[in-house]
Structure 1
Amino acid sequence: MLQREVYFVSEQIGTGQSGRFNRRAVKVVEAQQRVLAAADGLRCGSELVPLRECGGRRLAQTLHASSDWPPFARSGLDGYAVRAADVAQASPEQPATLRVVDSVAAGGIALANVEAGTAARIMTGAAVPAGADAVVMLEQTAEAILADGSAAVLIKHAGRPGQNIAPQGEEFRLGSVLAPAGTLVRPGHVALLGTFGYADVPVQRRPRVAVYATGSELLPVAAPLAPGRIRDSNSWMVAAMIEQSGAEPILCGTLPDDPDAIAASLARVWDDADLIVTTGGVSVGDFDVMADILRSIKNGGWTSVERGQNRIDESKRKPPEDNIQLNGTHSANSNKQDDYQNTGTYADEHVVHQNTGTYADEHAVHQNTGTFPSIQRTSRVLFDRVAMRPGSPTSAAVLEGKLLFALSGNPGACFVGFELFVRPALLRIQGIREALPKVVNAQLLTAVDKPCPHDRYVRTRLLYQPDGRIGADPLAFSKSSMMASIAESDGLAVIPSGSCGAGKGEMVEVLLLP
């Protein structure tokens, strides 16, 4: 198997502070639409799983009824199958007397038809005999013996056609839709699928999400605390949210504030992950390495190749300020030509060459025996700042066809960033069109009057009033760095930007948490 190598082109990390602050904030709605548009092009494929394992999965295709259901007219209770016309006038004072011609158990078939003046004993779920059009419950009957010694039944209540009978096809007709593609399979769906013979169920393959926490201050959860160090709880919170979204987390541990270490770790997990989530390192501090990596993606300085397929000549990279797609450098000749020693296919934004000699272009020098895709075509930053609190540094990119989310290291901001962007992306990848959080209107029970230049997403408990109104009770300990209120949250109250926040009694939108 070929091994992937990831390259990161440094842009004077730690000295380019102006680049850190030069990040245009986009509105949350715009950022979400960019994420969903990128996710639309990603699918993880499908797989067949046994019926017992399909609960909680998303259907990969629309499933249909393989027969009518019920497949035959069946009795809804224990009693007697009769002709409604024979018992139309029956009453406790004047019961109708009918000869019993058969007894039908569930799973059995009647050997005699029900004709005028006769009845058949029948059990719940059994097929209704031909000729019968009603079932009288056992409690409204009494056993009797006719003069010739044959069994009879006294019907004490009038019956009507169709009484206590589930007709064939009452619930489903052959070919009816049981559940559309993208449906979250619940226990009721499992019952339906079993009913119609789906021993194996086509489901979406769970997206696999690589989870990293950046920061040299982080310790494993089981480690004792040390001066200046904290435990990595974000990874585990994000992993739980990923599972809640129907995906599979790959916990990759913590990374130091070193772009080369991040590049190496990405290379190791690349073929196993469909999506990448990092926490921390996205702000404007000296050691916020994810911000540097995102800036490099913007400038075409991040790529990966497969060892044995492609080589980038590290000595001939174009300076990053030239913003050439492959970070090549001009050769010494005056017409800025680069030399390619190429025995395969080189694909860039301009041409595809089968080349064994020299190709003049403004790119890099490659020793290439395979296919090398243009970087700008497959890697781009979707946004690196969002107009929201908490979590304004939240960022997202498409990195060679994979979605990368760089969430804040503060747990509150990390939580909000996941709900607004990562969960919708995971749902959309699994075929869910309505992937954004559901919204309700609620009355604010406590003022949130702190001014803010951006919309705020405040952790909130919802209280449902007897008159149908919903109250939104903002929780304490809801600062970006605080986690105490995350577990108690029912939703995120959206407090509009401005100089006055929102007062008690005002109506606000609340994004519902799953």
Structure 2
Amino acid sequence: MADREAKSDKFMRKVLQVQEAQNRILAHIRRLERETVPLEEAQGRYLAENIAAPHPFPAFPRSGMDGYAIVAADTEKCPGGGEVWLRVVDNIPCGSVSAGAIIPGTAARIMTGAQVPEGADAVVMLEMTETREVDGVPCVGIRKPIASGANVTPVGLEVSQGETVLAAGRKLAAGDIAVLAAFGIAEVPVLRRPKVGVFATGTELLDVKEPLQPGRIRNSNSPMLQALVREAGGEPVMLGTIPDVLDLARSKLQTALETCDLVITTGGVSVGDYDIMGDLVREEAGDMLFNKIAMRPGSVTTAAVRGGKVLLALSGNPGACYVGFQLFARPAIASMQGAAELFLPEWTVILGVDYPKINNFTRFVRARLELRDGSVYAYPAAIDASSVMVTIKDSDCLIIVPPEERGLAAGAKVRAIKLL
């Protein structure tokens, strides 16, 4: 998006486009130190370095089924209707290795996954054979020709030795854990999880455990941010709630910046008489990154740098707080961990119903996705106001409505940010 700045109000707010705001934050984010964690604790962590295969996989020729390991050339005379009988000289279960080589005229009973013995170049499935004893020696009969390599998984079919199997910056999922285990990597190099300080401002806020009081609301933003930080791979450091007292907020902020890698606040960034976070940021204006973004909800989202740490002040409105985290905090937390992909994926989807709202700023609309007739549709939340909290739980994407759109009709193709 183009960087369009314009002075706006008495607070000297300058309107910044979302992408430029993201870039300004990321320019001040530092990659954290690497550490090593046990394999069983590596899920959800980001790799600090490329992982190369220490050996081929599979490391030995492997039987693809239960049957008999044979020399394929022994079956060449089968097309004429003849039946080949081979002496069974070994029985190879999984985890065992044959004591000798297979030579023409012999075969070895073998189980799925077992190492194919030296000399054998094919495995014939059990259902294609019959057995009998000849002079007390077990034999197996084969009626059809078998091609060399049939039902044998060769060495290195999946991965060659030295090949990169997992790249630095990858977020480790269950399949990646399986790969690491298969190659005997019990200690995994990852980047440290960032400590993210979270506190809310507002005299009106009650703790979750407190009974409702006239004119006051429970603090739902802090628990939501705590969960979002964890989802993004960070370690939330919960710093509680601060009433609208400037000195107290200043002290709490300083402590957070000294002990955390990133600080997120919610509330106090609007233009009201008691919006103290805006006042705190303006105290050291040279450190401000931005204090107004061309977006809805959350246009008053503010960011600054203090002591080399980023302070991200999100709106106190739940909807705006949620969107602001996804757009600005999540990429910052990912960048600290060396993530290869910093931003949530964007899809092109079909708008399920009319969206008539008109805005001067880009709007990020909470919505749910639905797969219908092979196409993905997005349905905006019925109530999408910045202050609305309940529809967050029903949303799995954010529809992006550019300011030049003067209302959208059902069936229109729109971009949507897929929420994880």
Q: In structure 2, what is the Cα distance between the partners aligned to 1:220 and 1:499?
A: 41
Q: Please report how far the alpha carbon of residue 273 of structure 1 lies from its aligned counterpart in structure 2 after TM superposition.
A: 1.0
Q: Which residue of 2 aligns with 1:261?
A: 248
Q: In structure 2, what is the Cα distance between the partners aligned to 1:218 and 1:259?
A: 16
Which deviates more from structure 2 when the two are superposed, residues 195-204 or residues 87-96?
87-96
Q: Which residue of 2 aligns with 1:3?
A: none
Q: In structure 2, what is the Cα distance between the partners aligned to 1:89 and 1:487?
A: 68
Q: Deviations over 1:444-482 (max 9, x none)?
A: 22222222111111111122231x432221111210000
Q: In structure 1, what is the Cα distance between the partners aligned to 2:293 and 2:222?
A: 22
Which of 418, 432, 441 is 2:325 aligned to?
A: 418
SS of aligned partner of 1:406: strand
> Matched residue pairs, number?
413
Instruction: Say if 2:250 and 2:280, in contact at 8 Å, map to a contact too.
Output: no
Which deviates more from structure 2 when the two are superposed, residues 479-488 or residues 264-273?
264-273
Which deviates more from structure 2 when the two are superposed, residues 123-132 or residues 414-423?
123-132
Q: Please report how far the alpha carbon of residue 263 of structure 1 lies from its aligned counterpart in structure 2 after TM superposition.
A: 2.4
Which of 378, 391, 400 is 1:472 aligned to?
A: 378
Where in structure 2 are the equivalents of 1:368-379 lying within 5 Å? Answer: none
Q: Please report how far the alpha carbon of residue 440 of structure 1 lies from its aligned counterpart in structure 2 after TM superposition.
A: 1.4
Q: Please report how far the alpha carbon of residue 506 of structure 1 lies from its aligned counterpart in structure 2 after TM superposition.
A: 2.3
Q: Deviations over 1:146-205 (max 9, x none)?
A: 2x3211111233211111111111111211112111111111111111111111111111
1:298 aligns with 2:285: yes
Q: Which residue of 1 aligns with 2:26?
A: 36
Q: Please report how far the alpha carbon of residue 89 of structure 1 lies from its aligned counterpart in structure 2 after TM superposition.
A: 4.2
1:273 aligns with 2:252: no
Return closer, same or farther for 1:269/1:396 CA change in 2, 3 Å cut-off: closer
Q: In structure 1, what is the Cα distance between the partners aligned to 2:272 and 2:161?
A: 63
Q: In structure 2, what is the Cα distance between the partners aligned to 1:201 and 1:496?
A: 43
Q: In structure 2, what is the Cα distance between the partners aligned to 1:499 and 1:271?
A: 44
Q: Deviations over 1:336-393 (max 9, x none)?
A: xxxxxxxxxxxxxxxxxxxxxxxxxxxxxxxxxxxxxxxxxxxx21111000111000
1:383 aligns with 2:290: yes
Aligned AA (1:483): M
Instruction: Say if 1:492 and 1:513, in contact at 8 Å, map to a contact too.
Output: yes
Q: Which residue of 1 aligns with 2:98?
A: 110
Instruction: Say if 1:84 and 1:134, in contact at 8 Å, map to a contact too.
Output: yes
Where in structure 2 are the equivalents of 1:56-71 lying within 5 Å? Answer: 56-71=44-59
Gapped regions of structure 1 (runs ≥ 5):
1-17, 300-379
Return closer, same or farther for 1:463/1:19 CA change in 2, 3 Å cut-off: closer
Instruction: Say if 2:303 and 2:313, in contact at 8 Å, map to a contact too.
Output: yes
1:496 aligns with 2:407: no
Q: In structure 1, what is the Cα distance between the partners aligned to 2:139 and 2:98?
A: 17
1:131 aligns with 2:38: no
SS of aligned partner of 1:145: strand
Aligned AA (1:418): F
Q: In structure 2, what is the Cα distance between the partners aligned to 1:248 and 1:218?
A: 24
SS of aligned partner of 1:471: strand
Which of 428, 439, 442 is 2:349 aligned to?
A: 442
Q: Please report how far the alpha carbon of residue 93 of structure 1 lies from its aligned counterpart in structure 2 after TM superposition.
A: 5.8
Where in structure 2 are the equivalents of 1:309-458 lying within 5 Å? Answer: 380-458=287-365
SS of aligned partner of 1:112: coil
Q: Please report how far the alpha carbon of residue 296 of structure 1 lies from its aligned counterpart in structure 2 after TM superposition.
A: 1.3
Q: Which residue of 1 aligns with 2:5?
A: none
Q: In structure 2, what is the Cα distance between the partners aligned to 1:439 and 1:387?
A: 19
1:174 aligns with 2:164: no
Q: Which residue of 2 aligns with 1:318?
A: none
Instruction: Say if 1:496 and 1:502, in contact at 8 Å, map to a contact too.
Output: no
Q: Please report how far the alpha carbon of residue 426 of structure 1 lies from its aligned counterpart in structure 2 after TM superposition.
A: 1.0
Instruction: Say if 1:58 and 1:204, in contact at 8 Å, map to a contact too.
Output: yes
Q: Which residue of 2 aligns with 1:224?
A: 211
Q: In structure 1, what is the Cα distance between the partners aligned to 2:232 and 2:28?
A: 18
Q: In structure 2, what is the Cα distance between the partners aligned to 1:25 and 1:89?
A: 83
SS of aligned partner of 1:421: helix
Q: In structure 2, what is the Cα distance between the partners aligned to 1:396 and 1:89?
A: 79
1:48 aligns with 2:36: yes
1:194 aligns with 2:100: no
Q: Percent identity?
A: 46
Which of 381, 387, 400 is 1:481 aligned to?
A: 387
Larger radius of gyration: 1
TM-score, length-normalised on structure 2? 0.94
Q: In structure 1, what is the Cα distance between the partners aligned to 2:310 and 2:332?
A: 9
Q: In structure 2, what is the Cα distance between the partners aligned to 1:381 and 1:396?
A: 6
Instruction: Say if 2:257 and 2:309, in contact at 8 Å, map to a contact too.
Output: no
SS of aligned partner of 1:136: strand
SS of aligned partner of 1:170: coil
Return closer, same or farther for 1:236/1:92 CA change in 2, 3 Å cut-off: farther
Which of 14, 23, 26 is 1:24 aligned to?
A: 14
Which of 83, 90, 93 is 1:95 aligned to?
A: 83
Instruction: Say if 2:396 and 2:419, in contact at 8 Å, map to a contact too.
Output: yes
Q: Deviations over 1:218-242 (max 9, x none)?
A: 1110110111111100001111111
Q: In structure 1, what is the Cα distance between the partners aligned to 2:190 and 2:308?
A: 23
Which of 401, 411, 416 is 1:505 aligned to?
A: 411
TM-score, length-normalised on structure 1? 0.77
Q: In structure 1, what is the Cα distance between the partners aligned to 2:108 and 2:154?
A: 18
Aligned AA (1:87): T
Aligned AA (1:119): A
Q: Please report how far the alpha carbon of residue 20 of structure 1 lies from its aligned counterpart in structure 2 after TM superposition.
A: 5.0
Q: In structure 2, what is the Cα distance between the partners aligned to 1:255 and 1:129?
A: 72
Q: In structure 2, what is the Cα distance between the partners aligned to 1:31 and 1:233?
A: 26
Aligned AA (1:36): L
SS of aligned partner of 2:131: strand
Q: In structure 1, what is the Cα distance between the partners aligned to 2:139 and 2:406?
A: 83
Instruction: Say if 1:92 and 1:157, in contact at 8 Å, map to a contact too.
Output: no
SS of aligned partner of 2:367: strand
Q: Please report how far the alpha carbon of residue 424 of structure 1 lies from its aligned counterpart in structure 2 after TM superposition.
A: 1.1
Q: In structure 1, what is the Cα distance between the partners aligned to 2:9 and 2:376?
A: 44
Q: In structure 2, what is the Cα distance between the partners aligned to 1:77 and 1:498?
A: 61
